[in-house]
Structure 1
Amino acid sequence: MRMLGYTRVSTAAQDAQLQLVSLLSAGVQRRDVFADVTSGSRAAVDRPGMKKLLDYAEAGDTLVVWRVDRLGRSLIDVLNTVNLLQGRGVALRSLSDGIDPATSTGRLMLNMLATLADYERELITERVNAGIAAAKANGTRFGRPAVDPSVIAGKLEIVQQERAKGRTAEEAAQLVGWSRATLYRHQQAATGKATFRGVGPSHLRDLGAQ
């Protein structure tokens, strides 16, 4: 069993020496310490030091950190990292927090972290839903932007011309960047309106005929 270490600071101006000294004092070898100097906005698995650590770690190893928040940018990220490590058979020990899955207290604290992470997920979902509801109330539209009717009309005219040359509906639709189903949908919408540039509904139906 090996003891691996991990340190993280947000900027190059910060010093990871305190973290490093604590890890070495706990028995971690200097050669087994991995480090990141990166913003907390990046998920743990996207950091170069953590990637190297995950590639190096083996089942039965123990990862030692100065504080558990070094593992992630949020409770959710921390818990995802802990779960990833546990899934690979790597234990976790946090020196300042007293988190150690080998002890009952450590397991309790991990369970508390999981509960808090779930709570954070629910808060994020509630905030997102509230933001969407408020935006809709203020007239914001979600989804794909509306397509200019003149663009659709122009594409239908091109399709008509290509169908007259003997192309199939699918081939003509692909020329204007549509699928066959999209072509039929626009044709049906057009037949429910006034005649399109002198082309009557019967002609529009002919566009899709094989």
Structure 2
Amino acid sequence: MADRLYLRHSTDKQTDARQRHALAALLAAGAPVYDDPATSSRVLSLDRAGFKRLLDEAAVGDTIRIADAARLFRSVADVLALRPVLIRRGLHLKVESGLLSGIDLAADDPGTKVVVSVLAAVLEFQRDMISENTKEGVAAAAASGKVLGRPSALDKDAAVELVKAHREGAA
């Protein structure tokens, strides 16, 4: 029976540093790490390459450990697909930090099933609120005349000079 660590972050601008901190003792003990960097929570856990590899290598009785539940699932649909697979395979799922730490989220009992379903609904709501707030923030910035997106690497004069040099064959 082995511990297997799962890490995920949503964008290439994020890191898994907070997750690694929460799982530090297990990392130091040499537990294998499976990750899905820059992977949206909208991709179901069973469809992620790193998590699939974890499942392929896991044996009955192994425990999947995550820093927090949102790293593995953020939707009711995901939980409904994931839990039966974990239960059928005889795997355990434990969150290392926060409110749910120490609870086996893959336990096959009615109490755990309802707790995990409610948690998934809350995480799905949180994900939707983040998305909604981002869209509203972008709309507000655009309405106030702010230029959105990545700033230009060149100022206008430098861009004109570069185009001129290119046309003349120097660049």
Q: Give the TM-score band, short-chain normalised.
A: 0.5 to 0.7
- Residue number in structure 1 paired with 2:62: 61
**Alignment length (residue pairs):** 118
Structure 2 distance, partners of 1:108, 1:27, is: 30
1:98 to 101, 109, 114: 101
CA 12–60 in structure 1, closer or farther in 2 if over 3 Å, else same: same
Structure 2 distance, partners of 1:98, 1:107, is: 18
CA 64–19 in structure 1, closer or farther in 2 if over 3 Å, else same: same
What code does the residue aligned with 1:100 have?
I
Write the deviation string for residues 153-196 of structure 1: whole angstroms up to 9, x where unpaired. xxxxxxxxxxxxxxxxxxxxxxxxxxxxxxxxxxxxxxxxxxxx
Structure 1 distance, partners of 2:22, 2:120, is: 27
Secondary structure of 1:86's counterpart equals helix
Q: Kindly indicate whether the alpha-carbon contact (under 8 Å) linking 2:79 and 2:117 is maintained by their aligned counterparts in 1.
A: no
Query: How far 1:79 moved relative to its partner?
Result: 4.1
Q: Kindly indicate whether the alpha-carbon contact (under 8 Å) linking 1:91 and 1:101 is maintained by their aligned counterparts in 2.
A: yes
TM-score, length-normalised on structure 2? 0.58
- Residue number in structure 2 paired with 1:7: 7
The alignment status of 1:18 with 2:18, answered yes or no, reads yes
Q: Kindly indicate whether the alpha-carbon contact (under 8 Å) linking 1:23 and 1:66 is maintained by their aligned counterparts in 2.
A: yes
Greater helix proportion: 1
RMSD of equivalent CA atoms: 3.2
Q: Kindly indicate whether the alpha-carbon contact (under 8 Å) linking 2:68 and 2:95 is maintained by their aligned counterparts in 1.
A: yes
The alignment status of 1:48 with 2:31, answered yes or no, reads no
1:36-185 mapped onto 2 (5 Å cutoff): 36-37=36-37, 38-95=39-96, 96=98, 97-101=100-104, 108-114=111-117
CA 21–116 in structure 1, closer or farther in 2 if over 3 Å, else same: closer
Work out which structure has the larger RCO, using CA pairs closer than 8 Å and 6 or more positions apart in sequence.
2
What code does the residue aligned with 1:89 have?
G
Structure 1 distance, partners of 2:91, 2:28, is: 15
- Larger-gyration structure (1/2): 1
What code does the residue aligned with 1:41 have?
R
Query: How far 1:72 moved relative to its partner?
Result: 1.9
TM-score, length-normalised on structure 1? 0.48
| Alignment gaps of 5+ in structure 2 | 122-171
What code does the residue aligned with 1:92 have?
L
| Alignment gaps of 5+ in structure 1 | 119-210
Q: Kindly indicate whether the alpha-carbon contact (under 8 Å) linking 1:6 and 1:33 is maintained by their aligned counterparts in 2.
A: yes
Secondary structure of 2:14's counterpart equals coil
